[in-house]
Structure 1
């Protein structure tokens, strides 16, 4: 076993210990004070192993991807690899969702009392709904929004309103939309990796992306759709800086703007965008005008919502208040500030943990080489 592999295993072992600690501490807190409001900490989940209609398909997809995925990823033409990886991720997500059956796993998932579809009928006048959106965020507000509607900017709910307007209303279409669009996120990641590093690394990552544990949460959740929009925003930015394309830059900015109006938390994708700009800094230096279409595209969606009467910052502040009005005001912050990292480890899986370890190692070595080079240059000059 190589030293690199051993270090990968150490990183994965550390992640396992983190998840174990979060589970043990969470169960203790929940038994002692019942302030976590989750039944299977650190996840909002229940322990209920079972089989269902999607089980055979899930097993077949997993076995086929493990057995043939690496070879196909290495051999397929690049333009074929992207849809094949998307198809594998789509099959994996659908099969996992269908373990709970069609209605419970897909068609009914976005129709529960906390979900977006409960508010679609209240958007019959879209401009009026946007102008009055903030008046219904707080729990004590008249006719307050369902939890997920209040917890996101109106772009999230408006997506399902528009689907309804074109004849794709109801939970089944909403679920199909989220899973189908969400599965494209893996293709976006491949595009990003290829643009910023090399094609070989992207090909090696393809099977892992197709079988990412995140599929458990993406099927069926609007978060899958949000993740795909954010992933494509990053991918288009990577193409913009490496190909020096103003068109990709403008499209990336447009998607980044949309991302901020789908989820407040996804504004943190700006950190990933900054990393892409850093890695592609040579492209920016060669054509600094790329920042203009990027910023112009970024302004489109925020400007549209602002002109329609929605105040993003006011809504966010009201959401913080609503969070503390409910379970958020009771949940122990000191636990979740680190237990959320354990949740992330479960979502991304051990392969990503090992990959992050290698990334950190490369960054450290690169920094050390840069410093050693700086130390040697004065001596050489003298």
Structure 2
């Protein structure tokens, strides 16, 4: 290892250690608040869930798989053809996520999607789409918690899957596939902006962050996939030389961004990397991708508005309900720190180390956009807790900061740390997702 590389490695280790200290602070502070009777509505702060150690036999499979990935995958991403890297990155992410989720039994894949708080059970008894959208405000009070807190886009997807006769396990696999595809999408975006060499280095980590323990079994994993492909299309639009290609990719980016708007009211912050690309494109005086994206943005939102769904009114009602609910009693000062601790764990130490030594300005368009989304969402006070799930769409574009980590041995070490944290979380944290 050269002196310069050793210096960067030391900076990365120091940054990861500092992040670990913030996480430890959030854990200890949260435990003391609980002891003092504070209403955090979390039993394992800064995370939702409970600290319960369990080691089912399936976790040994995860350990063996983690060893294989840590040894083989950093070499594979250097040698495989680029298109194979993209396909394999999604496949490896899918397998790793599925093995962790199913470590206690195959039901672990679908069980979190069929609780009384989730979309799928409600989708099976909801009225037809037109009636649902036209009477959204009337039906909402009787809907499950997660349906109440989101626009109807995800619910409509689950209604469609149900009408096609797709069972619980197959729905879970579809959610898994959507989330795993974010790995490939984030690499497409990085390749377009920072080049193939940087994207290959990041490929060793894409889709393998500790966040997979939440992405695999929550609807937010599906939103993560939609977000990632919106950003990938935006990157293609921003870098295309042909105006027709740029406009077409921009339109796709707008369509997918609007699809995310129909899935979550937090979409404006979760699309941070896309907004960063839009600003960069505007500064370069390339208006056609932005015009095309703006046109595409109108289609999904307009399609829901025609039967009567009002996105702005839905956001306002959800905001008011949230402010009157748990947000009113959860201590804001604690969650400013706890939220950052939770997303730091989700992204993993390799992400922190990579960001500390990242110097590529174009890669920073994506990483910085994701960080801006995190900061805005944090200070807004609209995300007090559960951000390990809510902020999942930002994680793939935080993780690509790992493109700055040099050296196969070092990348193997950082990747092993990412995978190990995922195993520990799966064993120790009994999450509702």
The question of a shared fold, defined as TM-score above 0.5 by the shorter chain, is answered with yes
TM-score, normalised to structure 1, is 0.88
Please say if residues 115 and 149 of structure 1, whose CA atoms lie closer than 8 Å, have aligned partners that are also in contact: yes
Please say if residues 116 and 148 of structure 1, whose CA atoms lie closer than 8 Å, have aligned partners that are also in contact: yes
Deviations 1:79-137 (A, max 9, x none): 1111111111011000000113122x112211111111131134332111112212344
* 2-structure distance, mates of 1:129, 1:88: 38
Please say if residues 15 and 345 of structure 1, whose CA atoms lie closer than 8 Å, have aligned partners that are also in contact: yes
1:332-371 matches, within 5 Å, as 332-359=331-358
The alpha-carbon distance between structure 1 residues 280 and 7, as it changes in their structure 2 partners (threshold 3 A), is farther
- 5+ residue gaps, structure 2, are 365-433
Quick one: higher RCO (CA 8 Å, sep 6+), 1 or 2? 2
SS of the residue 2:51 aligns to: coil
Equivalent residue, structure 1, for 2:161: 163
- 5+ residue gaps, structure 1, are 367-382
* Alignment length (residue pairs): 354
Please say if residues 155 and 258 of structure 1, whose CA atoms lie closer than 8 Å, have aligned partners that are also in contact: yes
SS of the residue 2:124 aligns to: helix
* 2-structure distance, mates of 1:114, 1:96: 22
Please say if residues 122 and 129 of structure 1, whose CA atoms lie closer than 8 Å, have aligned partners that are also in contact: no
Q: Highest CA radius of gyration, 1 or 2?
A: 1
CA apart distance, 1:277: 3.0
SS of the residue 1:209 aligns to: coil
Equivalent residue, structure 2, for 1:117: 120
Deviations 1:204-248 (A, max 9, x none): 111211421111111211111000000000001101111242211
- Give 4+ residue runs of structure 1 displaced > 6 Å after superposition: none
TM-score, normalised to structure 2, is 0.78
* 2-structure distance, mates of 1:279, 1:203: 24
State yes or no: 1:43 paired with 2:47: yes
State yes or no: 1:198 paired with 2:195: yes
Equivalent residue, structure 2, for 1:267: 268
SS of the residue 1:275 aligns to: helix
Equivalent residue, structure 1, for 2:412: none
State yes or no: 1:77 paired with 2:81: yes
Equivalent residue, structure 2, for 1:331: 330
Q: CA RMSD in A?
A: 1.9
Equivalent residue, structure 2, for 1:372: none
* 2-structure distance, mates of 1:147, 1:131: 20
CA apart distance, 1:67: 0.5
Equivalent residue, structure 2, for 1:242: 239
The alpha-carbon distance between structure 1 residues 191 and 321, as it changes in their structure 2 partners (threshold 3 A), is same
SS of the residue 1:314 aligns to: helix
* 2-structure distance, mates of 1:136, 1:344: 33
The alpha-carbon distance between structure 1 residues 164 and 313, as it changes in their structure 2 partners (threshold 3 A), is same
Please say if residues 232 and 252 of structure 1, whose CA atoms lie closer than 8 Å, have aligned partners that are also in contact: yes
